[in-house]
């Protein structure tokens, strides 16, 4: 009996030892960088993104996404995005892939379309659908106002009501009303923020012939916080904006804490394809419209900079947002190269940017150094599902990226390490158990 108890005690001790080792491995896995950028040889093939041989030895990291707008049916249409990263000593590569059952081909980015007064087609402006069963009326005592309802102009101010909440709209607001559904046309950004905060924002309206471009964005945190948040504010056009009696203390797109650089790919503006109307009609080659010198044959990503004040464009053109500087950034709009491909229900987009930037750009964009960690977040917009502007799918928090000096191998080093240690533990357990029960 004593010998049996000793065996039991030895087994319990052995199990505790194994659990401690496994716990250590789990902690190692949790504290390790969530994404590793490996050293590779070769360069990008933006005509066939993701086909470069070096990507084969780098595993995908699955990043969970969540709705940016709580309670909005059209928000959070993408549940995950797969990511790989690498560098070749000169350039940094980021590869993204996500499921998109209905790609938003041929839809304009409204910002790009605004450069060409003759632009026609899908996505030229946003249409907002209000909450079902929202009602409206025209307040005739506002004699200096007009409202457009179903194409007819009325004198007076538009008011909408839903479950005890009422909102007065600006002059010349245009809506259509059909089957208890109200659609709001040409809405400025402050109105969108007001509707969302009031609970009347149901989503951006789409149908088979009206939708918005697909987008993908990477956010690189540039602040000093150890656990930064990637939440962006839903606000006005700029901080302190007074819009029709509403005071917006925060600008839409500004960050809750600290600065960050964003790389934004837009299928209806920056994708080098004839399925992108901006490239189909040679918008970027038309210097009389853009004032820019685009001479390459690849796509690009819009470089943005956000902080606690506002969102800016990291160049001097100011097509999407106000320029972050008035000089020193000429040509920065095209410095992040991209290649994109849609196949078998998936978008694959590859981003390429030099690891270093100029002194002017370094204020607004990170320099990538081997051996350092960075905080990064991701966002995806499914334009056919009604995601655009601040309605999107986002990573709920930043992930850590490590620029590794190690070259990519066929097996992730951390996975390899865990497998080796787990194998050694299993062998030791078998040997000890055999020894115990022979006695």
pLDDT tens digits, 345-390 = 999 999 999 999 999 899 999 999 999 999 999 999 999 999 999 9
175, 303: one domain: no
How confident is residue 435, by pLDDT bands cut at 50, 70 and 90?
low
How confident is residue 227, by pLDDT bands cut at 50, 70 and 90?
low
22, 41: one domain: no
Q: Is residue 16 part of a domain?
A: yes
384, 419: one domain: no
pLDDT tens digits, 6-64 = 555 555 455 544 444 444 444 444 446 799 999 999 999 999 999 999 999 999 999 99
Q: What percent of the chain has pLDDT over 90?
A: 68
Name the range with the highest mean pLDDT among 56-65, 283-292, 420-429: 56-65
62, 134: one domain: no
232, 261: one domain: yes
243, 370: one domain: yes
Cα distance between residue 86 and residue 299, in whole Å: 19
154, 57: one domain: no
pLDDT at residue 438 in the model? 58
| Stretch 195-215: mean pLDDT | 96
pLDDT at residue 24 in the model? 46
pTM, full prediction: 0.85
280, 399: one domain: yes
Q: Is the pLDDT of residue 229 over 60?
A: yes
Out of 144, 177, 204, a domain closes at: 204
pLDDT tens digits, 298-313 = 999 999 999 988 999 9
pLDDT at residue 3 in the model? 55
Whose tokens are 């009031």? That residue is 198
Out of 183, 204, 225, a domain closes at: 204
Q: Is the pLDDT of residue 411 over 60?
A: no
- Record the tokens describing residue 147, joined without a space: 């409202």
Of 263, 349, 346, 342, residue with least CA distance to 84: 349
First CA to last CA distance, the chain: 13
- 99 φψ region: left (φ > 0), alpha (ψ -120 to 50), beta (else): beta
Q: Is the pLDDT of residue 426 over 60?
A: no
Q: Which of 192-196, 222-226, 367-371 has the lowest mean pLDDT?
A: 222-226
270, 390: one domain: yes
Of 302, 320, 219, 306, residue with least CA distance to 254: 306
Mean of the per-residue pLDDT values of the chain: 87
Q: Is residue 424 part of a domain?
A: yes
Whose tokens are 């797969």? That residue is 82
Cα distance between residue 417 and residue 422, in whole Å: 8
pLDDT tens digits, 91-147 = 999 999 999 999 999 999 999 999 999 999 999 999 999 999 999 999 999 999 999
Total domains in the fold of the chain = 3
pLDDT at residue 6 in the model? 55
Distances (CA, A) of 380 to 35, 40, 63, 102, 416: 18, 27, 11, 14, 31
290, 397: one domain: yes
pLDDT at residue 416 in the model? 46
Q: Is residue 333 part of a domain?
A: yes
Q: Is residue 209 part of a domain?
A: no
Are 352 and 337 a contacting pair, CB within 8 Å? yes
CATH number of the domain at 60, please: 2.60.40.1190
Domain of residue 231: give its range: 36-119+214-407
Which residues lie below 8 Å from residue 45, measured CB to CB, with a gap of 6+?
51, 52, 339
């Amino acid at each position: 009996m004593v010998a049996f108890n000793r065996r039991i005690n030895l087994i319990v001790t052995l199990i505790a030892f194994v659990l401690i080792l496994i716990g250590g491995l789990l902690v190692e896995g949790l504290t390790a960088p969530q994404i590793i950028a490996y050293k590779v040889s070769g360069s990008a093939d933006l005509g066939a993104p993701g086909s470069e041989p070096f990507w084969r030895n780098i595993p995908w990291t699955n990043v969970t996404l969540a709705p940016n707008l709580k309670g909005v049916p059209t928000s959070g249409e993408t549940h995950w995005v797969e990511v790989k990263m690498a560098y070749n000593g000169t350039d940094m590569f980021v590869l993204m892939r996500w499921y998109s059952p209905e790609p938003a081909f041929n839809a304009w980015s409204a910002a790009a379309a605004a450069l060409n007064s003759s632009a026609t087609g899908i996505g030229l402006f946003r249409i907002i659908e209000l909450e079902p069963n929202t009602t409206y009326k025209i307040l005739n005592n506002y004699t200096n106002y007009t409202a457009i309802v179903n194409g007819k102009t009325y004198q007076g101010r538009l008011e909408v009501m839903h479950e005890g909440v009422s909102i007065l709209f600006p002059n010349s607001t245009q809506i259509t009303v059909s089957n208890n559904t109200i659609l709001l046309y040409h809405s400025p950004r402050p109105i969108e923020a007001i509707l969302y905060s009031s609970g009347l924002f149901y989503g951006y309206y789409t149908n088979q012939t009206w939708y918005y471009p697909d987008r993908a964005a990477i956010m690189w945190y540039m602040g000093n916080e150890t656990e930064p948040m990637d939440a962006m504010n839903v606000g006005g056009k700029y901080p302190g904006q007074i819009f029709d009696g509403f005071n917006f203390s925060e600008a839409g797109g500004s960050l809750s804490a600290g600065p960050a650089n964003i790389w934004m790919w837009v299928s209806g503006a920056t994708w080098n394809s004839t399925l992108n109307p901006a490239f189909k009609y040679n918008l970027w080659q038309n210097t009389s419209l853009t004032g820019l010198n685009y001479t390459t044959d690849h796509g690009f990503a819009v470089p943005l900079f956000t902080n606690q004040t506002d969102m800016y464009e990291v160049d001097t053109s100011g097509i999407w947002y106000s320029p972050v500087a008035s000089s020193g950034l000429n040509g920065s709009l095209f410095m992040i190269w991209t290649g994109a491909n849609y196949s078998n229900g998936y978008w694959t987009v590859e981003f390429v940017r030099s690891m270093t930037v100029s002194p002017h750009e370094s204020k607004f964009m990170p320099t990538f150094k081997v051996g350092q960690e960075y905080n990064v977040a991701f966002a995806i917009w499914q334009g056919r599902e009604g995601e655009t502007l601040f309605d999107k799918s986002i990573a709920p928090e930043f992930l850590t990226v490590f620029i590794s000096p190690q070259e990519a191998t066929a097996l992730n080093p951390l996975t390899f390490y865990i497998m080796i240690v787990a194998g050694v533990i299993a062998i030791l357990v078998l040997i000890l158990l055999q020894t115990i029960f022979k006695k």
